[in-house]
Structure formats: C-alpha cells, structure tokens
Structure 1
Amino acid sequence: MARHAHRFNSWGGKHHPWDQDDRISALLLERLGVDRVESHMILESGAITVDGEGTLITTEQCLLNRNRNSGLSRAGIEAELKARLGVTKVIWLPYGGLEDRETDGHVDGVAAFTAPGKVLIQLPDDPGHPDYARMRANKSVLEASTDAAGRPFELIELPQSAFVEVAGDLVEVGYLNFYVANGAVVVPVAGVEADEKALAVIGAAFPGRTVVGVKTPVIAYGGGGVHCITQQIPAAGEALRAAPTTSSRPRSDRRPVHRPHRCRDHPGSRTKLILTKISVRKSLYMSRRQTLQTAILATVGGALSACGTPVTRAGTTTAAAQKDPAAKAAEWRMPDETHPHDLTFMSWPTELIWESDTAGVRRDIAGIARAIADFEPVVLLANPKDVKSAQRACGSGVEVVPIPVDDLWMRDIGPTFVLGQKGIAGVDFNFNGWGDKQEHSRDKDVAREILTMERVSRIQAPIVAEGGSIEVDGAGTLMATESSLINDNRNPGKTRKDIERALKETVGATTVIWVKGVKGKDITDYHIDALARFSEPGVVVISTPPEDAPRDVWTAAYDQARKVLSTAVDARGKRLELVELPEPGDIGRRGEGFLASYVNYYVVNGGVVLPRFGDRKADKDAAVIVRDLYPKREIVQVPVDTLGEGGGGIHCSTQQMPKRS
C-alpha cells in the first residue's frame, strides 16, 4: 500500500504559517511505515470524491483556483489526478458551497459517491437558499455525464441543510459532509427537526450500515463537518472493486502503477482523526477562531482557556453609538489597498441602467474580472437571471453569486472593510444613489448582503458616503472631496466637523485632508479616487490634465487640489510627495462624462490593473509611472471604453476584502 503526499498550502495561503501542516502527510506516513508517493500538485482530500472504479468528481471553484496550482492548466490538473490516483475520468462540477470560502468550494460539501454510479448531491429545496441555483447547475452537469464505465449517474438528492445559531451567528450544518466508517455512516446534525429527513436519505443510500448523527454546530461554525476532520486508512488486504490499471510505461520508469483511489465506503482498517484541522483549517477568520474556541470552552469545560481573547459576536454596530471617537478609531482601521486581499467583489451591469450600452460595459467588466482573477479570487454579484451569462463572460476563475443589484459600482455600493484586534468588520455607508441621482433600491442593500454572506460584523456609519469618496494611506491619513461628502444630497445639516468625526470613528483616520472637488457636474460629485490616490504613506499620485486642456471646473479643481496637497502633512506630520500621472489626450470621440483618469487603477495581490484608453503614448507612459510606484507588482492594462462613458473606471467597479491581520 502506498499513500500520496500532495502539497498543502493552507487553502491558497489563507492562514500563515502552514509549514507544519504541510509536513503532516509525510510525518504520518513515516510513522505508519507506509510508502510515500510525492506529488508536486497542491490538493486537499476534501476537494475530490471517487467511486473506486476510476471516476473522480471535483469542483472548478476549488481546483481551478490560481491560489493553489497557478502553473497548471485544467488539463494538467486532470492528468496529475489520473496519474497519481488511478482514475480514468474526471468530472468537473462548477460550484462548491457559496459559504465555503475557506476551501474555495470543496466537493465534499456538495457531492459524494455512495457506490459506483450513485452520487448523493446537496440540492436545497428553498429558492431563497444561496446555493439553490448553484447546486442545480451541478446537478445538470452530472445528469449530462457518465462515469468511467460509461454508466449514467443515479442521483440521490439531499434536502436543504439545517441552520442553527452559534455564538450569535446563523450557521449552516451540511449533512453531506458525513464520514463512512466500517459498518456505519457518521453524519453531522444540528439537533433540529430536519435532521431526521437527512438521516433517512443517507441511511437509504448506505443499506446495511448504521447511521449515526453527531451534533456538530461548532465545527460547522468553523466551516466544516465530520468528513473534514477525518482521514481513513483503507484495509490493505481488501480487494478493490476494479482490477489494477495497466500502464504503457517502460519498466525503467520507477513511478508505480496505481490502483483506483477508494470510494468513501471502501473498508478501512483505521481512521485518523486529525483534530488540528478544527483550529487551523476550520477557523475561517480570527474573530471566528476565537468564537469557536469560546464555544468549545462551553462544551468541554475550559480546556482551551489560554487560546485567545474573547470577541464581540458578529452583528451590527452603530459607529455613532461609540462614546469615545478616539477609542473607536483605535479599534478599527481601514488598510491601504496594497494590504493583501482575501478577494475582490464586483457587480454585473444591468440593462435597466445601461440600456443600449449593456453589451459593451459587460465586456469591460468581464475583462477586468478576468484580469483580477489572475491574481486573487473574484466574487461577482449578479441578478439571478443574469448569473449564467455573467459566468460565461467571466469564466470559471470568477465566482458569480445571485444577489440583486442595480448597477456595477461596487466601490460605492459595497462595504468598506476595516481591520482591528477583533478581526474584520465592514462599514455600511448608507448608499443613497449619490444623492438620489440614480435608481438604487437594490444597491442600497448590497453592503448588508455581502456582510451577511461573509459573516462579517456590520458597522453602520452615521453619515452617507461611498467607498470612492475616501482614500486612505493605511497609516491614519484620509483624503476626500468636500463636494461629495459635505453635500446636502447626502448629509443635510452636517458640518465638515461632523463628517470628519464620523470618518475618524468608522475607518480609523486621525488626519483628514480635504480638497474642494466639483459639485453637480458628474454623478459622484467628483470622487477623490478619480483625482488623487495614495501609492504608499506620504506619496500621492494625482491625475494631471494635459497642458492644453481647456480652463473649466475640472482644471480649476485640479489646481486647487494640487495647491492643498503640496502643503498638506499626513498623520505622521510629514509633507506629501506628489507624483503626476498625466491624463490621456488622444482618445477619439468620447462622451462629456467620460472618465479619462489613470489614477482610477486598482491594486491587487502582486499586481496593478490599469485602464487603457487607446492613446498609445499616454497608455505607455502611465504604465511606466505606475510600475515605478509599485516596482514589485505586475502592471496589467485593460480597455474601459464603455465603462468610462458611465463616469467611472476600474477602481470604481471593485472593492477589496483585506486579509485579516
């Protein structure tokens, strides 16, 4: 018997350090005296399910994610699975669970073989369930597929998972993450009425085995179930259902010819319960990790009492309720955009807003999403009826989720994330359509929807603002335009002092630098992210109009901003260095509201996504300047021809979710 030791990188580098976990396979195999077959591919066992006769099922959401095997194509991953596990057919489901962001959608939460030709699938029956459409897409793939023996699949549907409250959060307990032991099936349950139906379905799928339900809400809170925290060692003396595969390799090739990887129900000699997975893999975020420890403490009587500080449960906090603004500022801080990201949120344009320009702007958004997905995960919100078309346009590297939206401007409608000792929270700036200039009945709820989906605490700001109306250096300094925020269409009756206090309370700024801006000439009232950005603390990149630009409100705003910024000091008491980023001049015929600003770029993990306007010299010069500002990042330029006509750009259409410190 041999055991494969695939590489482990903490589900795409989500937790540091992970070097000890990467060694676990080798250490266990050495202790057990089992031959080790090394694989260069990064893989977790929960990412695959096999029938023991040559068929393997996995998810595109997980294995095609560049955070694991960026140098391997889909064909390369499939070839490695076949070579190492003895499978002959790989079936790719598009989705794992929407909430399974830690593993990027492991298949062991959505599908499992019960026998060759038989697959148990998660299929929520409630249209309001976040995985309702996604799991039906998986079902369609399986219905159109056959296994390695050419048989169509018999699909067994498992009803909706149970939802229970743990530490103040609503947690989904996935019944499908069960574990098959000798003569038994151990199933995670929630202690609710729905458990009985799920146990009956699983029992019928495994006749002759005892079905045992184990309450696992705390483990579910960490993001997993029984299958995630176990690993079987198959009995070496048991014959596999299929004969060993043959190989055309010459005998001089020392790599062994492997028999098919076992199905879950293959007889096992022992089960290894790797308890470290509960605290390492399944602690999604620092706040969740600490709450998980607290919940376990209540269960086992204090065995983990030294594991961490208590944490406030997730929920909604009103920043105005804080009596001490300084304490609030110290509690939460908005990091700068160069801080590592967990992922990027985007939104799919709608015909309601874009009308005849819909096709063009969707091409732009899809191009931006694909470019970002080369560096980090992308989650794109789309109206349910647009999910399929958005997925086709953006490709499998982008996750599309069905959440109602009006428009694409995620920077403004999404939450602004902040970090602190309690982990991560999201500021909801009460989006009102840039002062009721545009329909926003759906967009006003997007920040709340995202925070609910991510199980991140919501801080409701005491003012109306948008993400694009503020720019921070991550070290206490914030820039903003008076035209956007000190405006009765957003904050009637509030003074500059009131708004400044609110910004300090919500995003942790200690110094606010105001420039005048322009009221009433564009939909945003001149957001700062189209004018000036921090590339690092102390360095401001400013969008500079051509020398021959006509004198108008925009050039006047630039002159005023430059004058203010050239004399301003940051939170450290240091003068700012200004770097000019010239705007393009030769861009052909554009609408009056076209945003021709390179400053509206977006910084991603390892790169910068920069607009390309078609002015070859200006495009090239902009790339050189930005490359000098971010010397360790790859510069990628994408066209924004239609997007710019809407008055925005790449930064406007994106919103980062930072990694927890």
Structure 2
Amino acid sequence: MIRFPAEWEKQSAVLIAWPDQSGDFGGNLNDVEQSYRFIAETICRYESLIILCKSAVQQRHIETLLPVEKSGIRFIHADYNDIWVRDTAFLTVEKDGKPLLLNFRFNGWGGKYEHAADNALNRNLLKHAPFASNPHLDIDMVLEGGSVESDGEGTILTTKQCLLNPNRNPELNRDQIEAQLQKHFGAERVLWIDQENLDGDDTDAHIDTLARFCSSDTIAYTSSNDPSEKHYQSLKNMEAQLKAMKMISGEPYKLVALDLPKPIFDADGKRLPANYSNFLIINDAVMVPVYDDPMDQTAVDKLAECFPQHEIIATPCRPIVHQYGSLHCMTMQFPATISTD
C-alpha cells in the first residue's frame, strides 16, 4: 500500500537551501536573504526547519540573521546548484504506513541549467539526520516535486507540458508515465491539465504555479480577469478544464480563482512568474507569497476561506521571484512520519 500524503497533513519539518554569493541572485542577495529570514522564522513557529548551506562560514552568517530558538533548526552542509529544493529534494510517500524517500533523477528542468550537484543532493542528504534513518528508493525517472500535486487520496494533478515534455523522459509515453505514478505514488488516477507555462517560468509549466489542492474537494488556481493580460485566454482555457474535472465521487471540485498580480519584470525587461498558487501549507498555517501588489490581500483573503483552521501569513516573495521561482518552489515539507529527533 503506497500513498502520497497531501501537503495539509501533519508535518515534521520543512527544508530550504540558503542562497549565497556564488548563486544566481547576485546583487539582489541582501533583499533575498530578508525574505528567507522571514520565511525561516515563520516556519520555526510551527515546526522544525532544516537549512542546507554550503559551509560552516555560511552557517555562522545565517545564524546571525535568525534570532529564533536554534533548537528548532538543523543545518546540513551540502553542495547544490540552485535553491529550488521543491524539485531536487526527496519526495516522501507512505509505504504500508511507513515513510519512504523517493529519489528521482533531476536534469535541470530539461537540461536548461547545470545540475550535477542538485542531482546528487539526495545522496548527500542520506548522510545526515533525519534522512539517514529512513528507507529510500532511487528511481531512474526524471521528476520534480513542483510538477505533481496530491490530494492524499490517490489523485495526482499535473500538466502535460511538463511530464510529457520530451526533455524529461523521452522514452516514456503518457500511459507509461501514469504507470510510474501509480507504482511510486499509489496514484489511482491522474488529472492532466493542458496549459502553457507562465512567462518567466522555466519549469515547463509546473502545476504548483497553476493549480493546487487545498483539500480533497477544493482546487485554488491561477487566473486572470484582465483581457489585456498575455495569459488571459490560456488561463480561461485551464479554468474550463478544471471545471470539467470531477472528484472520485463524481461531484465537481470547488474552484477558487487566484488572479495574477500585475506583471513584474527584471532589470533586463523579462517578465517574472509571480503568482499566488505557489503558497506553502505548513502545520496550522498557510504561507502565501505576496509581491507588493494590490492583489496580494485578495489572494490572502481567498485562501483564508480555503483554510479556515489555519493562520494565513502573507510572505514577501518579490525578491525571490527575480530568480524565476517563489515560495513553494524553494521549500520541501516532510510528513510527520519522518522523525526529526
């Protein structure tokens, strides 16, 4: 019996990888670290935090930024190319009620970036607690955590543009990929969305930028009601697909539209993939990425309705999105079955 837990289930810890001067944030690092500081302090209020960093020197620097109780933080020194651990760290399933760490191959989002250290990350994590004490499985298939959404009950939501992209697993067709999702995640069904990626998103349309399970009967999704928005029509097409989808019971999903913020551009004029679907669910709270935009509060209010038992926390992510990802992309949660003691 294999089950892929939903993100809203009880967690033991969240993993992040701290950026440094050698990374892609460059001159924006100070602002990025302020966002990281907010995110780290917030997570520590609810559960344990695991911070990847590259050296003891960097660890000491991070410690000066975090005036929180250090007992809730575990540091691991490891090499990594990028900070987007959603796509490089273990995915955790339950096998017969016990945790199993899945180590998929990572190829730099279809060979777009250098990725040797990221692909080796999980092998390095296995040298450290809490990962060393848990069984793992190496899987000869390219798959990133941001590309799959689980309702915890056997349904996986994903996009054709990512999982069926020939730059991931060209030797596998749709039926074969579904068979792999069934084998490794216990998927009873796969809901496929046909949707282009947002401008600035180089993941080939990861589902966690587009549509997210809030519960087994509710999906929040990226939307636009502005006909001048470049993605207006494609997002309307995605909305129509979501409306046609049914739960296992045959009932339609409750859908919650999260309108895009106004476009944000980098210094070179490239649009960044700012969106509100990239929220992170942690124990008793939901962290919502915000971008100093008038639409921020609307997104916070809508997600508060989806998670009435959770504290909703507006989380500053404008600096982070300058490297083409956001809050969910930079984090990976681990279920309560992974002990951090």
TM-score by length of 2: 0.89
**Contact 2:263–2:271, Cα closer than 8 Å, also in 1:** no
Instruction: Name 1:528's counterpart in structure 2.
Output: 207
Note the 1:318-467 alignment, pairs <5 A: 331-350=1-20, 351-384=22-55, 385-395=57-67, 396=70, 397-453=72-128, 454=131, 455-467=133-145
Q: Could you report, residue by residue, the CA deviation over 1:149-178 in whole angstroms, capped at 9, with x for unpaired residues?
A: xxxxxxxxxxxxxxxxxxxxxxxxxxxxxx
Structure 1 residue 612, shift from structure 2 partner: 1.7
Measured in 2, the distance between the counterparts of 1:548 and 1:557 equals: 11
1:477 CA displacement: 0.9
- Aligned residue for 2:222? 543
- Cα distance in 1, alignment partners of residues 265 and 322 from structure 2: 13
Matched residue, 1:501: 179
Change (3 A) 1:550 1:474: same
Q: 1:594 corresponds to which residue?
A: 272
Contact 1:390-1:400 within 8 A present in 2 as well: no
Structure 1: tracts of 5 or more residues without a match: 1-330
Residue 319 of structure 1: aligned partner: none
How far does the alpha carbon of each residue in 1:548-600 deviate from its partner, in whole angstroms, 9 at most, with x for none? 4434xx33432232121111123444322211112223868785341221111
Question: Hey, what does 1:489 align to over in structure 2?
Answer: 167
Alpha-carbon distance between aligned partners in 2 of 1:392 and 1:651, rounded to the nearest angstrom: 25
Aligned with residue 635 of structure 1, among 312, 335, 340: 312
Q: Secondary structure at the match of 2:157?
A: strand
| Aligned residue identity for 1:530 | T
Deviations along 1:325-349, whole A, 9 cap, x unmatched? xxxxxx2211111100011111112
Distance 1:530 1:393 in 2: 29
SS in 1 for 2:15: strand
- 2:215 is matched by which residue type in structure 1? E
**Offset of residue 613 of structure 1:** 1.1
- 1:79-100, CA deviations, whole angstroms, 9 ceiling, x for partnerless residues? xxxxxxxxxxxxxxxxxxxxxx
- With normalisation by structure 1, the TM-score equals 0.47
Aligned with 2:333: secondary structure? strand
Distance 2:324 2:76 in 1: 25
Question: What is residue 337 of structure 2 aligned with on the other side?
Answer: 660
Alpha-carbon distance in structure 2 between the residues aligned to 1:520 and 1:344: 26
Matched-pair contact (CA < 8 Å) for 2:264–2:272:
no
Aligned-pair identity (%):
28
Letter in 2 for 1:562: E
Q: How many residues align?
A: 328
Question: Does the CA contact (< 8 Å) of 1:484 and 1:524 recur in 2?
Answer: yes
Distance 1:519 1:622, change over 3 A: closer
- Work out whether residues 197 and 206 of structure 2, in 8 Å CA contact, stay in contact via their aligned partners in 1: no
Distance in 2, matches of 1:586 and 1:442, equals 32
The secondary structure found in structure 2 opposite 1:344 is: strand
The 3 A distance-change label for structure 1 pair 496 and 398 is same
Q: Distance in 2 between matches of 1:563 and 1:459?
A: 37
1:584–1:619 CA contact under 8 A, matched in 2: yes
The alpha-carbon distance between structure 1 residues 505 and 585, as it changes in their structure 2 partners (threshold 3 A), is same
Give CA deviations for 1:597-623 in whole Å, capped at 9, x if unaligned. 1111101101011112112x4121111
8 Å contact kept, 1:415–1:450: no
Give secondary structure in 2 for the equivalent of 1:541: strand
- 2: CA distance between counterparts of 1:370 and 1:400? 14
**CA gap 1:357/1:589 in 2 versus in 1, 3 angstroms:** closer
Work out whether residues 15 and 51 of structure 2, in 8 Å CA contact, stay in contact via their aligned partners in 1: yes
Select the structure of larger CA radius of gyration.
Answer: 1
How far 1:452 moved relative to its partner?
Answer: 4.5
In 2, Cα distance between the equivalents of 1:377 and 1:363?
19
1:90-105 pair list within 5 angstroms: none
2-side partners of 1:633 and 1:407: how far apart? 30
Alignment of 1:102-181 (within 5 A): none
Contact 1:430 1:464 in 2 (8 A): yes
Query: Residue in 2 aligned with 1:603?
Result: 281
Matches of 1:355 and 1:332 in 2, distance apart? 42
C-alpha separation in 2, matches of 1:413 and 1:462: 14
Measured in 1, the distance between the counterparts of 2:127 and 2:92 equals 13
Cα distance in structure 2, aligned partners of 1:402 and 1:545: 41
Amino acid corresponding to residue 5 of structure 2 in structure 1: P
Aligned partners of 1:462 and 1:502 also within 8 Å:
no
- The residue type equivalent to 1:441 in the other structure is A
Structure 1 residue 514, shift from structure 2 partner = 0.7
Q: Quickly say closer, same or farther: Cα 1:464–1:556, change in 2 above 3 A.
A: farther
The RMSD of aligned alpha carbons is 2.1
CA distance in 2, matches of 1:373, 1:550: 37
8 Å Cα contact 1:463-1:499 kept in structure 2:
no
Q: 1:354 to 1:610 in 2, by over 3 A?
A: same
**Structure 1 residue 431: Cα displacement:** 1.0
Alpha-carbon offset, residue 353 of structure 1: 2.6
What runs of 5+ residues in structure 2 fail to find an aligned partner? none
Q: Deviations over 1:95-149 (max 9, x none)?
A: xxxxxxxxxxxxxxxxxxxxxxxxxxxxxxxxxxxxxxxxxxxxxxxxxxxxxxx
Q: Which has the higher contact order (CA 8 A, sep 6+)?
A: 2
User: Which residue in the other structure is 2:290 paired with?
Assistant: 612
Which one of 450, 465, 471 corresponds to residue 149 of structure 2? 471
- TM-superposed CA distance for 1:519, in Å, is 6.3
Q: Aligned with 1:622: secondary structure?
A: helix
Report whether the alignment pairs 1:578 with 2:255: yes
In 2, Cα distance between the equivalents of 1:451 and 1:599?
Answer: 31
